[in-house]
Amino acid sequence: MKRLAGLLLFGALPTLAAVEFDAIYGDGMVLQRGREVQVRGTTDTPSEPITVSFNGKKVKAVVRGKRWQAVLPPMEANATGQPLAATQKSSSATLQNVVVGEVWIASGQSNMLWRLNQTPGNPQTIAGSANPDFRFYHSEPQVHTAPPRYNAGQLQRVKEKRMYEGKWAVSAPGTTPRMSAVGYYFGHALQKQLGVPVGVIHASLGGSNMLAWIPRDIVRKEYPGCQGSSWVRSKYASAWVRGRAQQNVGPGGDFSLHPYAPSYLYETGIKPWEGFPVAGVIWYQGESDAEIQDQEQNKKLLSDVITSWRSRLCDKQLPFLQVQLPRINDKSALRAYWPEFRQVQAEVAAELPRVGCVVTLDLGSTNSDVHPPRKVEVGERLAATALRMVYGKDVAADGPTIVSCRAKGSSMVLKLSHAAGLRTTDGQPPVGFELAGADKKFVPATATINGESITLTAEGVKSPRYMRYAWAVFLTPNLVNAAGLPAAPCPAMGSTRSSR
């Protein structure tokens, strides 16, 4: 139990004098290995010294007012559950079954929130999910953004920032059903490969925009016109986000009392973890912001999410692994700029250190459902990227990537990286390539695989100058490498320059 208070008798009335851990700490939690670990909480008796003990170590806490904080030294991974205790003369609090390993944050919008029990094949997965070395903190949204108007209780909860409720749990059939499916498959795969305890901290919300995940001081400085209710009329609010907020709050409502308001989701879902060391972040988001055709704006928003989280989580090189938007068979204006947003994600990954961009073009919906069912591969590709980028494992994590193109008469030859075993999944020529001359009028191209390169030709393009690949909202890609990983989309590239 978090609170085991001693009683001080004063006449006939007991006085409660208790030390407590903050809500992010709990039975069954995972502490990050190899890093100093901040442990904090409150006390009703700040005059009494507090000692925090764990793993054979005892450290004194610093007490300011009723708040206390202690710092445990870096520790090696340890799968044996141990007590974590905070002790005063008059009271103590103890957490049980605490282990040391790797801790990751999983965040974004509905495709990260999508539960394990909503995913095809979940009965078998859930039934076999018992794993004492995989644990998670699932933040359950208490107010969603479905179309109905919020009632007074929901508005009050938003106002009081009681957005999430959560606690630590050990992976088991009774605890995993509501876990993020992507977070589960990522953490499960990572734990099996590393052989140490893994914890996943999940906080996401359907339809959420990037501005809601950026700290307030950054919004004030970098995004003028987004204070109070005015954000909903700003250029940063897509038509869909604006419409959903209006549905929830109602005509003339206070749009600052909506989960999509700037900084709201950061303050309720991520801020409680500030200072708590983690190994990295996995991020599945963009469907809402992609409606706005402003690549520079979206690039800045995404970069600010990453850099601000790194600052607040006290790690300037914190790994940040994105899921690149997949395909979707939807011709509506809402999805029209997904190719551009995929490129935003790729450029941010190329320009910021230790940022990944996991290609999922082949995993998207064949209809207009924004929630593609194949979460297993998404989580496993994220885990492979983490294993390679963060843990230095020799695993296949990248699909074929076009790095340069060179015109040769009426054809164009493409050079690719990660192209060993280049092939198509159906034995047919690669699809999704286009060529253009100096006029930049792209037409479908015929692609031929030559070892680890590809040659393109196109009817009517006698002197090709530009090429692009998978520049479409929807397609059925078939180009992969020996590991079966799909080729990355490529924007218009001239024959005289190389890609990033």
Residues 6 or more apart whose Cβ sits within 8 Å of residue 245: 145, 232, 237, 255, 258, 260
Q: Is 154 helix (H, G, I), strand (E, B) or coil?
A: helix
Token digits of residue 62 = 């610093």
Residue with tokens 């590709």: 381
- Between 9 and 324, where is the model more confident? 324
Instruction: Calculate mean pLDDT across residues 422-432.
Output: 98
Q: What is the pLDDT of residue 265?
A: 98
Where is average pLDDT lowest: 4-18, 48-62, 213-227, 393-407? 4-18
**Interval 231-259: pLDDT, tens:** 999 999 999 999 999 999 998 889 999 99
Q: Token pair 């999430």 is at which residue?
A: 164
CA 308, 311, 316, 319 torsion-angle sign: negative
pTM for this model (two decimals) = 0.95
Tell me which amino acid residue 131 is.
N
The fold of the 109-389 domain, in CATH, is Rossmann fold (3.40.50)
Nearby residues of 87 by Cβ (< 8 Å), 6 or more positions away:
19, 50, 51, 52, 53
Architecture of the CATH domain 6-98: Sandwich (2.60)
Question: Which residue ranges make up each domain of the chain?
Answer: 6-98, 109-389, 401-494
pLDDT in tens, 355-396: 999 999 999 999 999 999 999 999 999 999 999 999 999 999
